[in-house]
Structure formats: structure tokens, C-alpha cells
């Protein structure tokens, strides 16, 4: 099982690292730079608002289905046709709730129009994730890897034509960005549907009310968990957009303190976190079916937890501290405006990446084991912390206040999940391993301090401009070497696992 996990993780990481950085840095970033922080902030607020009600599209069915199909492959034929009908019904519920809440929050006509397209995109995305849950539940990880990047690959093609194809005389508009996403999601949904229909031997849709009620009842714990997690992860930009004014209070200050600009600043800092989360999320996608099957077979998951956590936390520590120390340089490199404030937000959000990575391992294990009550309680407390801190900090610190709220929330949740996993699974505490991790963190921090202090140009090394890029790259290389020296990244062990299924 470790061999299957590592080989497919490698494939999925390779495909995602080839495609998604191009999307984030070449497309998404350029769109924001072209339309400006104001228009992009407008889009980003509505986008995150559309995420808040995502759970009504799914009610936890995707997580339940992934775990269920991984443990019982034969259920795909029985469940698929009925769940598809249920997903269409839930899409209607989602649309009704999202637009009702938007009206209650006094969303304007232009926001409602954008929400219509983004809501449709959320429906397509939810359907794709459900289809992929069947694919990964069948342990078809190679196919799932391709599906995981297909939508982004298509978006890159469509947006590239709109950005640089000179098809129109007018400048790029944020609406075109949304339309490109719709087209890409639509094609991906069709491809994924064809694959699953073939595997499920699908013949016709069926309406089965007792089955619907049974699925919803069994999925509700997953649903409440996903809702709470979505709220504490996506609430920050929405609260920024609603708590701050639409127009400058003091005209001479420009628009820096207005809602959409502050949301745009938050989006600047969030973009690289979103890119880093891509890596952590892929671990959880693979681990849900792996943990579920191992638990059903009553196999020990301790080695798999240690293996996956070590790989992910090593990457997370290097990425997080590198971004914290080089936050100013990275924001200046990526954006044309507000990069100083963006850097403050960015370093706080990236500090939380270590905690987020931890939850992707330990939260996934608890989900696979069915410990949803504990996860729901943790997430509810996390949501209350996030909401309370945003209420207090946004009026005082603006987007930076939301970043502080996110940082505290993520670490609170990560620590509690680790404690609960230890209580349930009673893993043997390896103090030597924990000291090694601590030593690694201290070492990475020192390497960052040294890389910032040394000017390689004075030593005759590196180019004359942007010399920090070379320092940054060398810091990453030395951190990886340091991790290998501490045997946190043990290439020999990884190769042995890949060659033989232990």
C-alpha cells in the first residue's frame, strides 16, 4: 500500500506541478495585474461567497462516496445513477440558498450577475469532484491524476487566447476569466462522466427516495464538517468585503481602505498559499481511500501516517519559512500594486501552511476512521475563533487582521487534530523523531537568515539584478539537503518502498 501511495503521489504531483503553477502565476496573476486590485477584489469576494454554500451541492456525499467505494467497489453500479439525480436536486437547493442569502446581504446587480456564473461553476466543480471520488475510490489514481489537472490545462489554453490572442480591441475583463472557467469545467465534467459511466455500466437515471434519504442521513456528518471547514477557510474575504466601505472615507487616501481593494490585497497574499495547498491537498486525495481500506482490513496505519506526514511537513516547512523570509521580494516580483501590504498578509497566511499541511494528514486519517463528531466539534470552535477575530481585527488591521485570524484558526485546529489522533490510535511517541523535526525547523530558519544576510554579488556570484532569487533558490536546495541529511527525506527508503510492496 505504501508503494501504491508513493508511485501515484509522484505522478499526481508531477502533473499538478507542471500545470497548476502555470495557471496560478502565468494566468491568474496576470489577470489580476491587468484588471487591477479593485476589479479582482470584486471577483474574489463573490467567488468566496459562492464557496460558502458549496456543501448544499454535496452534503458530504463526495467524501462519503470516496470512502465507501474504496471499501466496497461493487457499490459503484448500485449507487451511481441515483446519486447523479440527487446531485441535480442539490444543485437547485444550492442556487436557491446562495441567491437568497445574496439578496439578504444587499448584493448589487453586477454582483448577482457574476454570482450566477460562479454558482454554475461551483455546480460543475462539485459534479467533477463527485465523479473523481468514484475514480479514486476504485484506486484508479493515474486516471484521477489526469482529471485533476484537465480543467486547469483547458483554462490555461482558453485564457491565454483571451489575454494575448488580440481577439478584441478592448482590454481584458474579469467576466472573460469566469467564462473561461465555465468552459473548462464543462469539458472536464463530460470527460469524467464518460469514464465513470463506462466503469459503472450505467444504463439510466433512477429516482429512489428511500436511497436518497439513506445517503443524506449517512452523509450528514461529512456535510456539516465540510460546511464548517469551508466557512473558516473562505469567510475572511467575504467579511472584508462586507465590513469595509465601498468608497474611501478620506478621498486623499485613495481607495486603499475600500472593501474590494482590501479583498484584492488579501487575494495577492492568498494566491501562493493556494498554490502550496495544492501539494497538501493531493496528499489527502490519495490518503482517504488508502487509509479507509487499511482501516477496514485492520492494518496498522502508523507507518503510512509517519511516511506521509514526514514528506508533507518537510515540504511545508521549507516552503512556509522561505515565503515568510522572502515575502517582500516575492510580492514585488508578482504584483504591480499594493505589494507592501500584500507581503504582510502573505507571510501570515504562509505561516499557517505548516498547520494546514498537518490537518491534511491527521484530519484525513480521522475522516477515514469515521471520527466525524470530533472533527465537527473542532471545526465549529475554529469557525467561532475565526469569526470573532475577524470582527475584532478587520476594522483595525484590514486584510492583515483577516490573515491573523486565519493563522490562529489553522494552528488551533491542527494541534487539536494531532491530540485526538494520538488519543484514538495510541501511536508510540517517537521523541527522537520529534526532536529531529524540531532541529530541522530551526535549521531551515537559520538557513533563511543566512541567505538573507549574504550578498552573493559581493562574492562575484550571480546576476547583477534580482540577486535574491539565487539566494532563495540556494536556500531551498540547502534545506532539502539538510532534510536528506536528517533522513527526513530518505531516497533509499522511498526507492525500496516503490520496488517492493511491504
pLDDT digits (tens, 9 = 90+) for 73-127: 566 666 777 788 888 999 999 999 999 999 999 898 999 999 999 999 999 999 9
Tell me, what's the pLDDT at 252? 44
Domain check: are 205 and 314 in the same one?
Answer: yes
* Cβ partners under 8 Å of residue 2, min gap 6: 303, 304, 307, 497, 501, 502
Question: Is pLDDT at 189 greater than 90 in this prediction?
Answer: yes
Q: Is the pLDDT of residue 347 over 60?
A: yes
Q: Calculate mean pLDDT across residues 355-365.
A: 94
* Domain with 436 in it: 429-502
| 31 and 151 assigned to the same domain | yes
pLDDT digit string (tens) for 403-436?
Answer: 999 999 999 999 999 999 999 999 989 999 999 9
The alpha carbon dihedral of 162, 168, 169, 175 has a sign of negative
Q: Which three cell numbers stand for residue 293?
A: 481500506
Confidence of residue 248 (pLDDT cuts 50, 70, 90): low
Query: Residue 347: how many CA atoms within 13 Å on its side-chain side?
Result: 14
H/E element, 366: helix 353-368
CA 502 to CA 483: how far, in whole Å? 24
**Do 145 and 276 fall into the same domain?**
yes
Digit-coded pLDDT (tens) for 30-72 = 998 888 888 898 899 999 999 888 888 887 777 667 666 666 6
Give the integer Cα–Cα distance in Å for 1 and 8.
11
Domain identity same for 407 and 451: no
Residue 6 clears pLDDT 70, i.e. is over it: no
Asked if 42 and 73 sit in the same domain, the reply is yes
Q: How many domains does the chain have?
A: 2
Tell whether 126 and 166 lie within a shared domain: yes
Do 389 and 439 have their domain in common? no
**Structural contact between residues 105 and 73, judged by C-beta atoms closer than 8 angstroms:** no
Average pLDDT value for residue range 356-360: 95
Residues 237 and 250 in one domain: yes
496 pLDDT more than 90: no
Determine the pLDDT at residue 500: 41
**Angstrom distance (rounded) from CA 355 to CA 409:** 9
Domain boundary among 428, 458, 475: 428
| Residues 68, 42 share a domain | yes
The torsion angles phi and psi of 381, rounded to 5 degrees, stand at -65, -40
Mean pLDDT of the chain: 85
Say what the pLDDT of residue 4 is.
58
Percent of the chain at pLDDT > 70 equals: 85
pLDDT for res 457: 63
Task: Give the separation between CA 256 and CA 260, rounded to whole angstroms.
Answer: 9
| pLDDT attached to residue 495 | 54
* pLDDT value for 292: 83
Same domain, yes or no: 291 and 439: no
d(CA 101, CA 177) in angstroms, rounded, equals 24
**Domain stops at, among 403, 428, 453:** 428
**Looking at the structure, do residues 251 and 316 belong to the same domain, yes or no?**
yes
Across 117-126, 131-140, 340-349, least confident range: 131-140
SS3 content of the chain, % helix, strand, coil (to 5): 85, 0, 15
Query: Domain boundary residue among 387, 409, 428?
Result: 428
**Which pLDDT value is given to residue 498?**
46
Q: What is the largest CA-CA distance in the chain?
A: 74
Which residue has better confidence, 133 or 248? 133
User: With bands split at pLDDT 50, 70 and 90, how would you rate the model's confidence at 253?
Assistant: very low
Is 223 found in the same domain as 301? yes
For 278-291, how does the pLDDT look when each residue is reduced to its tens digit (9 = 90+)? 878 878 877 887 88
Burial class (CB in 10 A: 0-12, 13-18, 19+), 243: middle
Amino acid at each position: 500500500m505504501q508503494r501504491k501511495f508513493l508511485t501515484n503521489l509522484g505522478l499526481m504531483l508531477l502533473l499538478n506541478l507542471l500545470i497548476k503553477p502555470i495557471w496560478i502565476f502565468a494566468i491568474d496573476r496576470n489577470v489580476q495585474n491587468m484588471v487591477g486590485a479593485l476589479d479582482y477584489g470584486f471577483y474574489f469576494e463573490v467567488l468566496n461567497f459562492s464557496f460558502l454554500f458549496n456543501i448544499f451541492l454535496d452534503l458530504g456525499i463526495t467524501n462519503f462516496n470516496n470512502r465507501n467505494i474504496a471499501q466496497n467497489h461493487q457499490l459503484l453500479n448500485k449507487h451511481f445513477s441515483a446519486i447523479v439525480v440527487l446531485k441535480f436536486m442539490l444543485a437547485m437547493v444550492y442556487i436557491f440558498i446562495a441567491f437568497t442569502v445574496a439578496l439578504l446581504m444587499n448584493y448589487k446587480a453586477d454582483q448577482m450577475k457574476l454570482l450566477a456564473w460562479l454558482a454554475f461553476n461551483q455546480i460543475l466543480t462539485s459534479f467533477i469532484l463527485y465523479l473523481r471520488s468514484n475514480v479514486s475510490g476504485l484506486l484508479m489514481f493515474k486516471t484521477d491524476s489526469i482529471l485533476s489537472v484537465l480543467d486547469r490545462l483547458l483554462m490555461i489554453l482558453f485564457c491565454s487566447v483571451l489575454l494575448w490572442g488580440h481577439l478584441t480591441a478592448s482590454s481584458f475583463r474579469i467576466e472573460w476569466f469566469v467564462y473561461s472557467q465555465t468552459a473548462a469545467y464543462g469539458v472536464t465534467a463530460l470527460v469524467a462522466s464518460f469514464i465513470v459511466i463506462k466503469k459503472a455500466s450505467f444504463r439510466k437515471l433512477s429516482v429512489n427516495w428511500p436511497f436518497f434519504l439513506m445517503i443524506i442521513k449517512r452523509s450528514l456528518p461529512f456535510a456539516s464538517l465540510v460546511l464548517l471547514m469551508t466557512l473558516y477557510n473562505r469567510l475572511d474575504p467575504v467579511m472584508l468585503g462586507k465590513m469595509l466601505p465601498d468608497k474611501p472615507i478620506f478621498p486623499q487616501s485613495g481607495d486603499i481602505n475600500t472593501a474590494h481593494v482590501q479583498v484584492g490585497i488579501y487575494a495577492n497574499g492568498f494566491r501562493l498559499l493556494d498554490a502550496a495547498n495544492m501539494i497538501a491537498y493531493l496528499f489527502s486525495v490519495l490518503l482517504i481511500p488508502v487509509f479507509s481500506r487499511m482501516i477496514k482490513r485492520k492494518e496498522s496505519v502508523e507507518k503510512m501516517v509517519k511516511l506521509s506526514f514526514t514528506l508533507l511537513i518537510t515540504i511545508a516547512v521549507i516552503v512556509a519559512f522561505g515565503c515568510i523570509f522572502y515575502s517582500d521580494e516575492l510580492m514585488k516580483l508578482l504584483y504591480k500594486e499594493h505589494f507592501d501590504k500584500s507581503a504582510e498578509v502573505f507571510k501570515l497566511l504562509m505561516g499557517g501552511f505548516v498547520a494546514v499541511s498537518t490537518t491534511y494528514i491527521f484530519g484525513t486519517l480521522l475522516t477515514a476512521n469515521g471520527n466525524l463528531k470530533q472533527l465537527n466539534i473542532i471545526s465549529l470552535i475554529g469557525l467561532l475563533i475565526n469569526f470573532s477575530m475577524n470582527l475584532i481585527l478587520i476594522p483595525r488591521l484590514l486584510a492583515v487582521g483577516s490573515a491573523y485570524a486565519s493563522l490562529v484558526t489553522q494552528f488551533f485546529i491542527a494541534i487539536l487534530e494531532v491530540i485526538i489522533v494520538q488519543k484514538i490510535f495510541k501511536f508510540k511517541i517517537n521523541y527522537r523523531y520529534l526532536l529531529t523535526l524540531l532541529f530541522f525547523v530551526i535549521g531551515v530558519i537559520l538557513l533563511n537568515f543566512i541567505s538573507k544576510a549574504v550578498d552573493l554579488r559581493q562574492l562575484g556570484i550571480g546576476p547583477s539584478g534580482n540577486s535574491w532569487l539565487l539566494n532563495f533558490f540556494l536556500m531551498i536546495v540547502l534545506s532539502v539537503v539538510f532534510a536528506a541529511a536528517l533522513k527526513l527525506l530518505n531516497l533509499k527508503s522511498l526507492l525500496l518502498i516503490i520496488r517492493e510492496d511491504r
